A and B are shown apart, each in its own frame.
Chain A
Amino acid sequence: MKDDSVKHPQATAEFLKDRAQAKWHDSAIWWVRQKRDAQAKQLPEWEELRRLAREIKAHTLSQLDDYLAQFEANAQKNGVTVHWAADADEHNRIVHGILAAKQVKKLVKSKSMLTEECGLNPYLEQHGIEVVDTDLGERIVQLRHEAPSHIVMPAIHLKKEQISELFHKELGTEAGNNDPTYLTHAARANLREHFLTADAGLTGVNFAIAETGGVVVCTNEGNADLGTSLPPIHIASMGLEKIIPKLEHLGVFTRLLARSAIGSPVTTYTSHFHQARPGGEMHIVIVDNGRSDILGNEDFYQSLRCIRCGACMNTCPVYRRSSGFSYSYIIPGPIGSTLGPSRDMKKHGSMAFACSTCGSCSNVCPVKINLHEQLVLHRKKAFEQNLLPAGKKMGLLAMRFLTQHPALFDLGGKVMRKVVPIIPESLTRHSAWSRAGRDVPPMPAQSFKELYQQRSQNKKDKEGQQ
Chain B
Amino acid sequence: MKIGLFIPCFINELFPHVAMATLELLESLGCEVEFPMEQSCCGQPLANNGDSKGACDAARRFTNVFQRYDYVVAPSGSCVSHVTHHYDWYIAEDTAYQQLKPKVYEIIEFLQDVLKLEKLPKPVYFPHKVSIHQSCHGLRELHHASPSELMMPYHSRLEEILKLVDGVEVLLPERRDECCGFGGTFCVDEPELSTAMGEDRIAQHEATGAEYIVGADPSCLMHMGGIIRHQGKSIRPLHIVEILTGRGAGT
B61 within 8 A of A: yes
Instruction: Give the 10 A-B residue pairs with the shortest CB-CB distance, closest first.
Output: A356-B183, A383-B50, A400-B54, A379-B50, A363-B149, A358-B179, A436-B195, A432-B188, A438-B226, A448-B16
CB within 8 A of B57: which of A315, A404, A436, A451? A404
CB-CB under 8 A for A353 and B198, given A321-B193, A399-B46, A444-B16: no
Bits for B30-66, please: 1 = Cβ < 8 Å to A, else 0. Answer: 0000010111110101111111111001100100000
Inter-chain CA distance A442–B147, complex, in Å, is: 32
Q: Which residues of B contact A383 (CB under 8 A)?
A: 49-52
In the assembled complex, the CB of A248 is this many whole angstroms from the nearest CB of chain B, namely 24
Residues facing A in B154-181 (CB within 8 A) are 175, 177-179, 181
Chain B residue, CB-CB nearest to A23: B200
Q: Which residues of B contact A355 (CB under 8 A)?
A: 183, 186
B197 within 8 A of A: yes
CB within 8 A of A363: which of B23, B53, B58, B140? B140
Q: Which of A40-48, A73-81, A271-279 contacts B (4 or more CB under 8 A)?
A: A40-48
A176 within 8 A of B: no
CB-CB under 8 A for A16 and B225, given A37-B148, A404-B57: no
Q: Which residues of B contact A22 (CB under 8 A)?
A: 196
- Residue contact B192 to A13, C-beta cutoff 8 Å: yes
B124 within 8 A of A: no
Query: B residues touching A (Cβ–Cβ < 8 Å)?
Result: 7, 9, 11-17, 19-20, 23, 35, 37-41, 43, 45-54, 57-58, 61, 89, 136-137, 140-141, 147-152, 175, 177-179, 181-200, 222-223, 225-227, 229-231
CB within 8 A of B197: which of A317, A409, A453? A317
In the assembled complex, the CB of B152 is this many whole angstroms from the nearest CB of chain A, namely 7
Chain B residue, CB-CB nearest to A359: B140
Inter-chain CA distance A43–B182, complex, in Å, is: 34
CB within 8 A of B152: which of A47, A318, A446, A450? A47
- Residue contact A440 to B178, C-beta cutoff 8 Å: no
A403 within 8 A of B: yes
- Residue from B7, B38, B181, B196 having most chain A Cβ neighbours under 10 A: B196
CB within 8 A of B16: which of A321, A364, A410, A451? A451
A322 within 8 A of B: yes
- Residue contact A9 to B190, C-beta cutoff 8 Å: yes
- Residue contact B48 to A376, C-beta cutoff 8 Å: yes
- Residue contact A358 to B136, C-beta cutoff 8 Å: yes
- Residue contact B14 to A444, C-beta cutoff 8 Å: yes
- Residue contact B150 to A47, C-beta cutoff 8 Å: yes
Residues facing B in A199-236 (CB within 8 A) are none
In the assembled complex, the CB of B166 is this many whole angstroms from the nearest CB of chain A, namely 28
Q: Which residues of A contact B181 (CB under 8 A)?
A: 317, 356
Q: Which residues of B contact A447 (CB under 8 A)?
A: 12-13, 16
- Residue contact B193 to A322, C-beta cutoff 8 Å: yes
Chain A residue, CB-CB nearest to B42: A403
Chain B residue, CB-CB nearest to A30: B175
- Residue contact B35 to A360, C-beta cutoff 8 Å: no
CB-CB under 8 A for A448 and B20, given A383-B52, A403-B58: yes
Residues facing B in A389-419 (CB within 8 A) are 392, 396-397, 399-400, 402-406, 409-410, 413, 416-417
A302 within 8 A of B: no
- Residue contact B197 to A321, C-beta cutoff 8 Å: yes
Chain B residue, CB-CB nearest to A453: B37
Residues facing B in A355-369 (CB within 8 A) are 355-360, 362-364
Chain A residue, CB-CB nearest to B149: A363
- Residue contact B151 to A403, C-beta cutoff 8 Å: no
